[in-house]
Structure 1
Amino acid sequence: MTDVPIQFFQAAATAIPTLMIAVVVGMKFGEGPAQRLEGKGKVGRIVVLVISVVAIAGIFASEFVALAALIQGGGTLEQAYFVWLGITMAFYFLAHEYLMPVKKVATNFERELLDWMILLLMIASLVSATYVLRALG
């Protein structure tokens, strides 16, 4: 177990709520989550709802892990990976909200392309976490 400096968890404990507030503001002024369900079948609706709930639960859990590491005075590499995942998911939601107006006017191919690009950026962030967190620890 490698200890990760407390500064990482301090930054994460601040960044996660800030990112989620940005997502909520984006949702308030943009298209809401209900519009994403339009045109989807029953299975598609269930999938979107389950993924949304699980992702939000993961983001909140990563905030609690960051706070727990702060209380303990530092954290492990595993805790840092979990917190990084929460930050990445929050960025995913923020990017999704930012691109929603673009997706409204895009063709099906362009929407698929945007979704894949966001997913690839999320995966790249998680892969880069290995190098960044090992350098910290």
Structure 2
Amino acid sequence: MTNCETSGHLRKRDEFVFDVTESLGASIRYFILAVAAREVRGQGDDHCSTMLVHTSMLNSVHRSAKRAIRPHIERLAYGLRKNDPALIRELREQWELECERVEASEFELSVASTIFEAIWFL
């Protein structure tokens, strides 16, 4: 035990509580959409799909992030399995917003391959 632990004082890093913010939630959803698009386009084997969430160099902060992110992803997965209309609408809106930002032709993609239904298996 460290002096801080035996004296009853917590370090700031031990007090840190990681939360999935709106922007992190959007990043996670878009990552899922991008992986789905690669799979549908036959590019799934061309990329190693991993998402890095940079938090800190401290292990305690990484564990806190994992405790927050894992249930968030599990809720998304549950909603996807159940075809939750609110989640599907949210994913569609996000996909279309992102597709408006960059022309498909910049990546040698057809416009048809960027349509939400092209990546969404309903």
Query: With structure 1 as the length reference, what TM-score do the two structures score?
Result: 0.27
RCO higher in 1 or 2 (8 Å CA, sep ≥ 6)? 1
More helix by share: 1
Determine which structure has more spread, i.e. the larger CA radius of gyration: 2
Query: With structure 2 as the length reference, what TM-score do the two structures score?
Result: 0.30
